[in-house]
Structure 1
Amino acid sequence: MPNSEPLCLVIIPYDRKKDAAGKVVDYETVYRRLIVPAVEGAGLVPLRADEQRSGCLNFSQPLERLRYCDCALADISTGDPRVFYQLGIRLAVHPVPALLVYAAGCAHLPLEAEDLPAFPYRVSPHGQPMHEAKYRALLTQRLLELMDGAGESAVYRGVRGEGEEGRAQRERIAGRELHATVFANLLKKGRTGGIAALRELQSELGDLVEVDPADLVELLLSYRAVNGWGEMVELVRQMPPSLAGSVLVQQQLGLALNWSGEREQAEQVLRQLIARRGPSGDSYGILGRILKDGWEKALEKGDMELARELLQKSASAYLKGFEADWRSTYPGVNAVLLMELKDPADPRRREILPVVHYAVEQRIRSGAADYWDYATLLELAALSCYEAKGRDALGRSLAMVREAWEPETTARDLRLIREARQRRGAECPAWADYAEAELQKAAERGTARP
């Protein structure tokens, strides 16, 4: 006889999984000791999304569960792609919102969980659930609240798009696309007019809380293109908290603070971001850049002790960024660069350099190459004294310059390599000196066409 109790779909990984920082979550134990008792306490029957209960493989079972279970709970702790695939289907086909849960302290939540109806629980260093009685009771309460107040979720309503509501939504989308095109053209003109023009455009936006977040991000990046560091910092302060706290905006805030001369505050922003959202190539890469700039300033002041400390910290940050994502070539090339600049040079650079070279070559082959990919090849060629590849990379990078600070940054890195080798009495290839001069000319022109 069919069970009349409502079913709770549980979307959760199997076995033990690690997050980006290596923290383990034992999902089998979490499911058995935390999720199942909490679900049953709410008068629901737990059912894992892709568990096979028949004797043979049945591909229709998981899809049926995603569509017909009365409610759903999804664990998004480590960003498991299978979990998000199943969660996406569930949200699209069922009107009752899903309850999202995650292990607090996991290093790399792929969503801004604090802005979603997401519930944290705690695990031990070995990935076992902690304070089980407390979190079971809280989860049960959340599930009861979800079922008592069940109504159509915004996702389900948005993707269904039926009748008059669907037509109205299509009109809103078309209006947003038209607005985005107009705003993009205004920003393009604003960049040409400089900081003053962008300020005027911002003043016309009115209350920033009501502005499309995508427009605010584009405005932020436009300020960056014209060196409006103070304007970037002020813009972030005026953004809605949910947008201001996002990974991209916090990364750009760190850069802007650094360029404004607030290095310590910039470093604090990035370290807090990494602690909150976990290690990534981009976040550690920006932190490495901030520390690298501090190292150069310490050298200028003659504070050699501080310079050595910051050089070590910067190299370590870049290396952590590369280890977080081996495809992230920016922290990789900078880790190798700073290892070259140490006195004596760090021998590990010889092991890492070919890995970075392979990663950037793969990116170029994928068709997604930009200025930085060819600039990375140029710096790697300078580090390995490979003239033919260096000259080819120089021409390609100059052809892809978008903003003046790009060739300026690469020219500075080539200068650092040259000066380090001069201090050690090592040979400095003449073609690398030529590349440095050409990049500096491109930076002074603002654009480059060799």
Structure 2
Amino acid sequence: MSQIRPHAFVAMPFGKKTGPDGKTWVDFDVVWKKLLKPALERAGFEAFRADEERRPGDIRSDMFQELLAADLVLADLTIPNPNVWYELGVRHALRDRGVVLVYGALPSGESAKAFDVYTDRKLRYGLADDGGPDLVTLKATLEALVGMLKESRHSSTRRKVSPVYQLLPHLRPPEWRSLLLGTDNESSATYRSWMNSLKTARRRMLAGDVMVLADETPVRALAVEGHCAAGNALLALDQCALALEQFDRALEIDPDALAVKQKRLVCLGRLGRMDEARSEAEELVAEHPDDAESWALLGRLEKMRWLAAWRRYINAPSIDTATAGLELLGRAIKIYRRGFLIDPRSHYAGINALTLMYLHRHLVEQAEVSEYIDQGLTGMQDLADLRGAVRYAIDSVLSAQSDDYWALASRAELILLHENQDIVRKAWCKAVPAADHDWFAIDSSLQTVQLLQELQFRPDEVAIARDILDSELKQCVPPVQSDRVFLFTGHMMDRNDRAKPRFPPKMAAAVAERISTVLDHWRAGSGDLAFSQAAAGGDIIFLEACRARGVRCQVLLPFDEPKFVKESIAPSLNVPGEEGWRDRWLALKPDLGLPIRLMPVELGDPPGKINAYERCNLWLLDSALAHGPEKLHFIALWDGQSGDGPGGTAHLKAEVDRRTSCVEWIDTRTL
């Protein structure tokens, strides 16, 4: 669940203004403090009013930024205030949804008449004689407004509330990130900081970091991008089930996001949910018949169906299975070709169509079923024509970016289909350096070459390409693989000032024994990975037990190390007869197996009012999950009670319980 509350901008008059009857006064500051702000906060919004901005600068820049990026605009139309109407108009022009209207009515019932939003749903609140909200009806009004705000927050993104977009159905909201103002204001600064952290984590393939940041988007409009980035990072780690969760969360926000739907198809295919994937792919090309990428994805699914049929034939040869496979292969070719014809810049669809056409001819000849040759599909002239078109598409990409690995790999694959061995060697030797030791990119190309080798297509030339890719893959750093992933949370050893004992020093030996028993039961060893903080008590005991078994330990700290030692290690009581907790930590540090990671350095400071300990708990969990939910083994040293503050053992256990049943609870009350 997202920790960042959605952001609401309030467009309303400030101070005391003449009421809608032109005689009495309305105190809008009181309306704000007693009604609007409490309602927004209860509905889960971070409320902001323009007069609360204390930073120097142009107030218009900040106002435009708020109207553009805010998740919700709450407009008070009690009086015909030109600033409020202007701000409402800007919002209606920039965004098609996310507006709630309210207005105040005097005891006489008189209120302002807003002709151009007369039919819009508005909430009426009562005004008292003193200009504030009517105290008699305030509680009911507050409840009604909270409900209205929550409804707006959770309503379908397809429901447009802006009259501009209702009356102009083909108008599309602008890509708001492209409209970020060049001036340095709070919104743009927050966005840049978040985006820089996200890019860094994505580049380093730290899926756990990306998952945390995806839940910390500055505004809801960025959440699609954040969850999509997390999904892509998890896909690269082959964690398709987790990636699918992220893409589904993005689609909950924007059900029409085409790129997210396409990524979801990739996940379904890799998870083996082929019938579901094909149905959704066919629906996607029906909705977007001019989108080359959608056709290419459908082609990929048909290619996978053909491969499954062909492998059945290899294992149990029969003419029926062979010809069925050829028909599926022909369908995949036609779909890829259609995608390429729709957009000749799509060299991915083009090279796949071309490679499958060559394989079609090759397999027909191998199986000696020449009557299944589709001369309109794999004739020599067809091959030559498509080969020229694909080469042109690839060269167009390379003319703009000469080191584009995927274009260079497509060109090398094209050359592999028909050129001699020397040219094949030169093409692949030129392509692989552009991958910059990207294990995932090289492995993807290797899978294609392995398929050609499996089908005995041009064996001498294919062997050259495979040798080059194999050699390069050995120079790349593969994703970290672990047999099991252990995640620990537990109480600190009691501090000197703790009134009621929870983890006294006399319990240390029993805790160490229980942790060792659990790790031995799960056969912890050198192929495993452990995640934990490093507080005195449970954390350090766990880390010591893991290192004694050769488990690599990844320590994540919520602060810089000096602050963490001061707050979470130094104040705890030491175990009689043993070296102090600080000394045990200093002895453990050099032997963890992995570098310590500090949250402020890796993720930046916690945004908004997020507690650092809670954030670190989620960082630990997401980092562990990124290695595969099925590998997660959780150990909690816990007394079953709520902690002394936020971000304790109870918090992490509750989060873990939603993700795995492989939980070992060491109840300190039984020790």
TM-score normalised by structure 1 residue count: 0.57
Q: 2: distance between equivalents of 1:335 and 1:352?
A: 9
Question: Could you tell me whether the CA contact under 8 Å between 2:211 and 2:227 is conserved in 1?
Answer: no
Question: Could you tell me whether the CA contact under 8 Å between 2:303 and 2:328 is conserved in 1?
Answer: yes
Identity across aligned pairs (percent)?
A: 17
Residue 434, structure 1, aligned to residue 469, structure 2: no
The SS at the match of 1:239 is helix
Structure 2 counterpart of 1:254, one-letter code: L
Match of 1:175 in 2: 190
Match of 1:269 in 2: 280
Deviation readout 1:157-198 (Å, 9 max, x if unpaired): 99999xxxx899833112100111123334455x35xx6x35
Q: 1:294 aligns with which of 305, 311, 332?
A: 305
Shift of 1:207: 12
Match of 2:330 in 1: 312
Q: 1: distance between equivalents of 2:219 and 2:277?
A: 24
Q: 2: distance between equivalents of 1:238 and 1:159?
A: 23
- CA RMSD, aligned part only? 4.2
Structure 1 counterpart of 2:441, one-letter code: E
Question: Could you tell me whether the CA contact under 8 Å between 2:160 and 2:166 is conserved in 1?
Answer: no
Q: 2: distance between equivalents of 1:159 and 1:333?
A: 33
Q: Pairwise mapping of residues 148-187 of structure 1 onto structure 2 (< 5 A)?
A: 170-187=185-202
Q: 1: distance between equivalents of 2:225 and 2:350?
A: 30
Residue 400, structure 1, aligned to residue 418, structure 2: no
Unaligned residue ranges in structure 1 (runs of 5+): 1-92, 101-113, 120-141, 148-152, 423-427
Q: 2: distance between equivalents of 1:429 and 1:95?
A: 63
CA 373–355 in structure 1, closer or farther in 2 if over 3 Å, else same? same
Question: Could you tell me whether the CA contact under 8 Å between 2:412 and 2:424 is conserved in 1?
Answer: yes
Q: 2: distance between equivalents of 1:203 and 1:143?
A: 31
Deviation readout 1:199-223 (Å, 9 max, x if unpaired): 8637965999686322222111111
Shift of 1:329: 0.6
Shift of 1:145: 7.8
Q: 2: distance between equivalents of 1:144 and 1:311?
A: 45
The SS at the match of 2:435 is coil
The SS at the match of 2:272 is coil
Question: Could you tell me whether the CA contact under 8 Å between 2:285 and 2:294 is conserved in 1?
Answer: yes
Match of 1:90 in 2: none
Deviation readout 1:59-109 (Å, 9 max, x if unpaired): xxxxxxxxxxxxxxxxxxxxxxxxxxxxxxxxxx99984999xxxxxxxxx
CA 356–447 in structure 1, closer or farther in 2 if over 3 Å, else same? farther
TM-score normalised by structure 2 residue count: 0.39
Q: Pairwise mapping of residues 3-402 of structure 1 onto structure 2 (< 5 A)?
A: 97=93, 115=158, 170-188=185-203, 191-192=205-206, 197=208, 201=212, 205=216, 212-302=223-313, 303-342=321-360, 343-344=364-365, 346-347=378-379, 348-367=382-401, 369-401=403-435
How many residues are aligned here?
A: 303
Q: 2: distance between equivalents of 1:144 and 1:251?
A: 26
Q: 2: distance between equivalents of 1:409 and 1:158?
A: 32
The SS at the match of 1:284 is helix
Higher helix share: 1
CA 174–363 in structure 1, closer or farther in 2 if over 3 Å, else same? same
Question: Could you tell me whether the CA contact under 8 Å between 1:289 and 1:314 is conserved in 2?
Answer: yes
CA 434–159 in structure 1, closer or farther in 2 if over 3 Å, else same? closer
Q: 1:414 aligns with which of 449, 463, 483?
A: 449
The SS at the match of 1:279 is coil
Larger radius of gyration: 2
Q: 1: distance between equivalents of 2:443 and 2:186?
A: 45
The SS at the match of 1:245 is coil
Shift of 1:394: 0.8
Q: 2: distance between equivalents of 1:159 and 1:382?
A: 41
Question: Could you tell me whether the CA contact under 8 Å between 2:251 and 2:257 is conserved in 1?
Answer: no
CA 368–176 in structure 1, closer or farther in 2 if over 3 Å, else same? farther
Question: Could you tell me whether the CA contact under 8 Å between 2:295 and 2:335 is conserved in 1?
Answer: yes
Structure 1 counterpart of 2:339, one-letter code: G
Q: 1: distance between equivalents of 2:240 and 2:179?
A: 43
CA 207–173 in structure 1, closer or farther in 2 if over 3 Å, else same? closer
CA 355–96 in structure 1, closer or farther in 2 if over 3 Å, else same? same
Question: Could you tell me whether the CA contact under 8 Å between 2:416 and 2:424 is conserved in 1?
Answer: yes
Q: 2: distance between equivalents of 1:282 and 1:117?
A: 28
Structure 1 counterpart of 2:466, one-letter code: E
